[in-house]
Amino acid sequence: MKLLCLGLFTSVYDNAQDYQYVIQNSTDPSLVFSTSIARIMKAFMFSKLVDQFNDVPYFDALKGQANLTPKYDDAVKIYEDLVKECNESMAAIATGLAANVTTPGSIPFPNAKADPVFAATDQTANMVNWRRFANSLKLRLLVKLATSGKSAAFANAQFAAYDTTLGIITDDVTVNPGFGKVAGQQAPIYNSMGYSVAGVRAYAQRIPTRWIATFFNGVKIQDPARAAVLFRSIADANTNQLGNESTVTTQVPPTTPISSSSFYTGTTVGGDALGAVKGAGQSAVVMLWSEAQFLLAEAYERGYLAGGTAAATTAFNNGVTNHFRYLYKTAAARNATTGAETVDASKNPTTDANTYRTTNAAVRLVNYSLNTTLDQRIEAIMTQKYIALSIIASDEAFNEFRRTGYPAIVNGSAVATETFASRASASTRPDRLPSRILYPTSEYATNSANAPAGINQFTSRIFWDLN
């Protein structure tokens, strides 16, 4: 996905323009499946854009020569329209599937090459999965809208009509257009966190922070099973604090094997591995199943969906288990039909997740029943969500930290285990973190009449950021 490789602002519009082309050139009712997929992915891409830049060109964007200087739209209004796109796409797919029941073959399915996300032989199941993905994306959008307090009536109405029967995704949503150990074709996460095609380690100083280590080494939570597949050396001194160069000699990646990546646990460079950085041919994550479960847990706990703490507890525990499940997937074990990674035969995510819960029975960030207030329950949900998203979908992990303030940090602390903020940070915020990404300078050069002025990376916030 270009989003993972290029500048965020330009790459989103580049991708969205491709989806817009499909939408505009697939108006024949028989192409409703292709059109709906494009609409869902366009909504996904724009949600990524809003989450980093807030107001962006949307309603007047993607019109080519017809409008080279599109106006910037209110982020909340964009989010509401993205929900509408999800709703209409889900409905259109359902109508197409019903038409195929009445008249088999009347609505052709996209072929596998046109759908590298859900590419099972059962094409009806593929389209149901697209509906579930749209419903999961909708849930993400609605939770952020609802907690922002800026779209209460809209969010409440949408939650009231939320299709809990369809539900959320039932597996990790990934895409693999043909990643492999070939120049320009390696999986993005492996290319940036693992090795180059030539076997050269990427970013030699990219190592875990002491803060993230606390969720694995017993300082906050004991989690040796996930640590063993996520990090090569989380238990030793090779952990870091941003901005602390005074002890650089102890802040280097491990050297066994020689020049190894801190985030790749394979025994040979380029070989298949477990964890987040699995290998050159691993699929790219679009949405983790665990993330969708944590979204459900929050929606239940806040009362957006019926179910309360009992349903939230189930979703919370499922989220933890499904993160183990994703980490234990390997490119060496692929589904023969879809090509998706499957769980390594030597691993049992359910057993290890249960062991994790038993080991941390006295830790409320793991044992959900120990939390007695809404704030405590949200902290537990968001902490486990952060653990699940870190490395794999770090942008969304930081989004959720900014939205909720969890996992908790100690603002302004110089203690490495209390915050992930850089000790050299120039941020004026109490937490010494940025609040957003600045618009690219090209926008002020080519669309200066519309690009928002006075944006500050420390004081200008995304609409859902209440911190």
HEC string of 300-315?
HHHCCCCCHHHHHHHH
If pLDDT is split at 50, 70 and 90, which confidence band does 245 have?
low
Backbone Cα Rg of the chain: 22
143 and 186 assigned to the same domain: no
Domain match, 109 and 213 both = no
Assess whether pLDDT exceeds 60 at residue 238: no
Structure tokens at 260: 């190894």
- Does 270 score more than 50 pLDDT? yes
Would 464 be classed as within a structural domain?
no
Cα–Cα distances in Å, from 143 out to 14, 166, 167, 305? 27, 18, 15, 10
CA angle 367, 370, 376 (to 5 degrees): 95
In the chain, the amino acid numbered 245 is E
pTM of the model: 0.94
Q: Are residues 242 and 115 in the same domain?
A: no
What tokens does 342 get? Answer: 């499957």
DSSP string, 390-441: TTTSHHHHHHHHHHH--S---TT---TTT--S-TT----STT-----PPPPH
**Residue 269 scores a pLDDT above 80:** no
Q: Within this chain, do residues 316 and 375 fall inside the same structural domain, yes or no? A: yes
Task: Provide the 8-state DSSP code for 222.
Answer: B
The residues, any chain, with a CB within 8 Å of residue 66's CB and separated by 6 or more, are: none
Q: Residue 421: its pLDDT value, please?
A: 94
Q: How many domains does the chain have?
A: 2
What is the share, in percent, of the chain residues with pLDDT greater than 90? 77
Mean pLDDT of 410-414: 93
Q: Where does 328-440 have alpha helices with state H?
A: 349-359, 374-389, 394-404
Please answer whether residues 53 and 434 qualify as being in contact, where contact means their C-beta atoms are separated by less than 8 angstroms.
no
Q: Is residue 434 part of a domain?
A: no
Rounded-to-integer distance, Cα 64 and Cα 61, Å = 8
pLDDT in tens, 296-332: 999 999 999 999 999 999 999 999 999 999 999 998 7
Model confidence over 433-459: pLDDT tens digits?
Answer: 999 999 999 999 999 999 999 999 999
| Domain limit, last residue, from 106, 137, 170 | 170
- Considering the domain architecture, whether residues 222 and 303 belong to the same structural domain is answered as yes
Distance CA 234, CA 186 (A): 26
Average pLDDT over residues 422-431: 93
In percent, the amount of the chain with pLDDT more than 70 equals 92
Instruction: Report the range of poorest mean pLDDT among 126-140, 159-173, 244-258.
Output: 244-258
CATH number at residue 326: 1.20.120.840
- Considering the domain architecture, whether residues 194 and 164 belong to the same structural domain is answered as no
Q: What is the mean pLDDT of the chain?
A: 91
- Cα separation values, 56 from 61, 73, 239, 416, Å: 9, 6, 37, 36
Residue 6 has pLDDT above 50, yes or no: no
Q: Is the distance from CB of 59 to CB of 122 less than 8 angstroms?
A: no
Same domain, 28 and 119: yes
Residue 192 forms part of a structural domain: yes
Whether 256 shows a pLDDT value over 80: the answer reads no
pLDDT of residue 239: 61
186 and 136 in a single domain? The answer is: no
Q: CB-based contacts of 203: which residues, under 8 Å, 6+ apart?
A: 192, 193
Q: Using the 3D structure, point to which of 149, 170, 191 is the last residue of a domain.
A: 170
Does residue 393 fall inside a structural domain? yes
- Residue 447 domain-assigned? no
User: What's the whole-number mean pLDDT along residues 381-387?
Assistant: 99
pLDDT of residue 178: 87
Q: Is the per-residue pLDDT at 201 higher than 90? A: no
Q: Which domain holds residue 161?
A: 1-170
340, pLDDT greater than 90: no
- 387, 398 in Cβ contact below 8 A? no
How confident is the model over 343-355, as a mean pLDDT?
97
State the Cα–Cα distance between residues 460 and 437, nearest whole angstrom: 9
300 in Cβ contact with 162 (< 8 Å): no
- In this structure, what CATH number is given to the domain that contains residue 87? 1.25.40.390
Exposure string for 296-330, b = 16+ CB within 10 A, e = fewer:
bbbbbbbebbebebebbbbbbbbbbbbbbbbbbbb
Quick one: pLDDT at residue 252? 52
Confidence class of residue 337 from pLDDT cuts 50, 70 and 90? low
Whether pLDDT at 2 is above 80? no
Residue 272 resides in a domain: yes
- The reported pLDDT for the residue numbered 5 is 36
Beta bridge partners of residue 343, listed in sequence order: 329
